[in-house]
Chains A and B, each alone.
Chain A
Amino acid sequence: MTAMTEGSTIDMTPVIDSVSSSTIVEKKYKMIAENVTVLYGGIPAVKNVSMKFPEKTVTALIGPSGCGKTTFLRCLNRMHDMTKNAKVEGKVMIDDIDLYSKDIDPIYHRRKVGMVFQKPNPFPTMSIHDNVTSGLRLNGVRDKKILDEIVEDSLKMAYLWDEVKHDLHKPALELSGGQQQRLCIARALAIQPEVLLMDEPASALDPIATQKIEETITELKKDYTIIIVTHNMQQAVRISDYTGFLYLGELIEFRETKKLFTDPKNELTAKYVQGRFG
């Protein structure tokens, strides 16, 4: 398939590195998306995208506005279930179980996938402590000692513990924007997921808060598979191992980050990373 731009034809066949490269012996995939298509009222926003996410890595999804990267991300934990006109086709496998199969209710498996949104969205009527435990209480954990333990654990992993440990019962809204976002990360971590989805988590934050979030992500990578949507290419370079470039709902190129940015195989990718359009 080709696309016409500026008088020249651009090859849009997806370029996907098979990740069995020489440096790694056997790569396990935490999540595999196969032929995912998303239709909003019949109009496709994501077209036939397939990706494999190796475990304990950070994958960045980049592309110009409206290219479908957020839409695709939301397929990975069935967030589109709550959108009225959306229809999702294809498979999303987590640990070899298809999230979209008719046999299972997504609630069982949403616990394995946590999500952090673009604008921090802690529950406004709850304290810091209660925000973190909100997912736990859904799962029937009631023991106060355990809850406090997990709160400390999650806040530490989100690099927020030291800043709030003295007053965990403060209302969540009294935190700054950056702190609220780290609180949302802690809230997602509290349900002990294995995959973290992040939708431009730092875009609403100032540079210092952004840096903190990026440090958090780099630390979390050791134990979690992270997929992050970002419009900031430098951020993708800083923190991700793999990068997928989407354009107009299609996956154009998916490779190791360094390779995609220094030596893009697809002309469209090259133009995007060079800042020729966005």
Chain B
Amino acid sequence: MTQRKIQSESKRKPLADKIFKIGATIAGVYVLAIIVLMVFQLFSESYPIWQESGFEFIVKTDWNAVEGRESFGVLPYIFGTLVTAALAMVIGVPLSIGIAMFVSDAPAKIGNPLGFVVELLAAVPSVIYGLWGLFVFRVYFRDWIEKPLNDAFGDSIWLFSGTPFGLDIITASVILAIMIIPTVSAVSREVMKAVPQQQKEAAYMLGATKWEMFKLAIFPYSKTGLIGASILGLGRAVGETMAVTMLIGNATGASAIPSSLFKPSQTMSSIIANEFVEASPASLHLPALIGVGLVLLLIAICINIVAHLLVTRMLKIKEGAINN
């Protein structure tokens, strides 16, 4: 009799525990529900534009909100997002890796405060980067870099043609580069620090200089992780809104595809920021903007999944090497 009583007691889970588990599970599943709801809402509210233009919405370059002549295409903004992000990577990733090299190899007294300062850069809100970019950086950049380049090469190299005002695709890209440095350099630093001491010792034993030690022991080992860090930076650049909006010059339609670095442009996030509140829900304008949001979301997700896979692969290689 006692045996049965014990058995039945252990099977009975306390009600409070059950409720707690259900509550926690609901909280966990919340994110799944939100994602599903979000994708559904974005698609259904932008449906009018898909109905109207179909796949063409992605490749058109029009952007006309005038009633009766409405025509929208997201291509110029895809271009703007990808080009600013790519330029930001080209400028920002080498800088970040250089910083990571310095910080990972420096003695802790210098390395830690320095790394900390770079990480604080990440805490500065985008709108303040935009403000600083607009009233400080743009002036110097225009006068010290854009104007001289334009004077010297404006006629010969198409990249530097046009009249530089400072609110253009290159200024936005440079600020974006500064903004991704904290992320990319912090992850790169961790990746480089993960290289086992024995590898570095082997390189030194062979008589390598410090740079050669990086080439022999650190870079081959951490290559995948560094690529992952860069793509994390790319992801951040693609999602960036305010600083870019304030510096990119607000062009629309076909003219948003710049003919030189000194011409204004527009990204997917900046067109939304600029026009969303003014767009009339009755017209196609708002669905078009929501459609832009959907495209932006899909691109951001793809980039992030790739970054995820790369970083996970690198961790697997590291474990494999250690277990040998």
Nearest residue in A to B109 (C-beta to C-beta)? A84
Complexed CA–CA distance, A134 and B202 (Å): 10
The interface residues of chain B lying within 8 Å CB-to-CB of A138 are: 206-208, 212, 216
Contact among B108, B200, B202, B324 with A173 in the assembled complex (CB-CB below 8 Å):
B324
Distance in angstroms from B44 CB to nearest chain A CB is: 49
Q: Does B108 lie within 8 Å of A84, measured CB to CB?
A: yes
> How far is the CB of A210 from the nearest CB of chain B, in Å?
18
Contact residues in B for A119 (Cβ distance below 8 Å): 198
Across the interface, do A135 and B204 meet the contact criterion of CB distance under 8 Å?
Answer: no
**Least distance between B324 CB and chain A CB atoms (Å):** 5
State A180–B198 Cα separation when bound (angstroms). Answer: 14
Q: Complex Cα distance A5/B217, Å? A: 46
Given the known interface contacts A84-B108, A117-B198, A134-B216, the answer about A124 and B321 at a Cβ–Cβ threshold of 8 Å is yes
B28 contacts A by Cβ under 8 Å: no
B207 touches A135 (CB 8 A): yes
Cβ-defined partner of A79 (8 Å) among B205, B220, B320? B205
Q: With A111-B207, A138-B207, A173-B321 in contact, do A125 and B107 touch (Cβ < 8 Å)? A: no
Q: Which of A57-65, A183-191, A223-231, A256-264 contacts B (4 or more CB under 8 A)?
A: A183-191
B199, A123: Cβ atoms closer than 8 Å: yes
Q: Which residue of B lies closest to A116 (CB)?
A: B205
| CB < 8 Å neighbour of B201 from A121, A125, A135, A139 | A121
Cross-interface CB contact of B206 among A84, A117, A135, cutoff 8 Å? A135
Q: Which residues of A contact B205 (CB under 8 A)?
A: 77, 79, 110, 114-115, 117, 188
Residues on A with C-beta less than 8 A from B8 are none
Interface 1/0s, chain A 89-127, versus B by CB < 8 A?
Answer: 000000000000000000100110011010101111110
Taking A117-B201, A138-B212, A173-B321 as contacts, is the C-beta distance between A123 and B220 under 8 angstroms?
yes
Decide yes or no whether B160 CB sits under 8 A from chain A: no
Contact A121 B198 (CB under 8 A): yes
- A82 contacts the other chain (CB 8 A): yes
Interface of B is mostly: helix
CB–CB A84/B107 < 8 A: yes
B320 CB to nearest chain A CB (Å): 8
Interchain CA distance A107-B324 in the complex, whole Å: 30
A81: interface (CB < 8 Å): yes
Interface residue? B129 (CB, 8 A):
no
Smallest Cβ-Cβ distance to A175: which chain B residue? B324
Q: A123-B217, A173-B321 are in contact. Are A110 and B199 (CB under 8 A)?
A: no
Name which of B201, B208, B217 has the most chain A CB atoms within 10 A of its CB: B201
Q: Please classify how large the interface on chain B is, using the bins under 10, 10 to 19, 20 to 34, 35 or more.
A: 20 to 34
Inter-chain CA distance A138–B203, complex, in Å, is 10
For window 180-236 of chain A, which residues contact chain B by CB distance below 8 Å? 180, 184, 187-188, 191
Given contacts A82-B201, A138-B212, contact A125 B207 (CB under 8 A): no
Q: Does B156 contact A (CB under 8 A)?
A: no
CA gap between A81 and B204 in the complex, in Å: 9
Q: A110: which of B108, B200, B207, B320 is its contact (CB, 8 Å)?
A: B207
Give Cα distance in the complex from A82 to B204, angstroms. Answer: 8
Asked whether A107 lies within 8 Å of B207 as measured between CB atoms, the reply is yes
Contact with A along B210-234 (1 / 0, CB 8 A): 0010001100110100000000000
- Chain B nearest CB, measured from A206 CB (Å): 15
* A107 vs B220: C-alpha distance when bound (angstroms): 22
Question: Which of A82, A84, A177, A191 is close to B207, meaning CB atoms less than 8 Å apart?
Answer: A191
B206 close to A110 (CB less than 8 A): yes
In the bound assembly, the distance between CA atoms of A240 and B199 in angstroms comes to: 28
Within 8 Å CB of B208, what residues of A? Answer: 107, 138
CB contacts (< 8 Å) of A191 on chain B: these are 206-207
Q: Find the B residue at minimum CB distance from A119.
A: B198
Per-position 1/0 for A121-143, Cβ under 8 A of B: 11111100000001100110000
Does any Cβ of A come within 8 Å of B7's Cβ?
no
Is B209 interfacial (CB-CB < 8 Å)?
A: yes
B201 surroundings in chain A (CB, below 8 A) = 79, 82, 115, 117, 121
How far, in angstroms, from A114 to B223 measured CA to CA in the complex? 27
CB-defined contacts of B204 to chain A, threshold 8 Å: 79, 81-82, 110
Contacts of A110 in B (CB 8 A): 204-207
Assuming the A-B contacts A79-B201, A173-B324, are A126 and B220 also in contact, with contact meaning beta carbons closer than 8 angstroms in the complex? Answer: yes
Roughly how many angstroms separate A139 CA and B107 CA in the complex, as a whole number?
28
Question: For the complex, what is the distance from the CA of A184 to the CA of B320, rounded to whole Å?
Answer: 19
Complex contact B202–A121 (CB within 8 A):
yes
Contacts of A135 in B (CB 8 A): 206-207
Within 8 A of A (CB), among B219-260: 220-221, 223
Which residues of A does B touch, CB under 8 Å? 77, 79, 81-82, 84, 107, 110-111, 114-115, 117, 119, 121-126, 134-135, 138-139, 173, 177, 180, 184, 187-188, 191
Can you list 11 A-B pairs with a CB-CB distance of less than 8 A? A77-B205, A79-B201, A107-B208, A107-B209, A110-B207, A111-B207, A121-B198, A123-B220, A124-B317, A124-B321, A125-B221
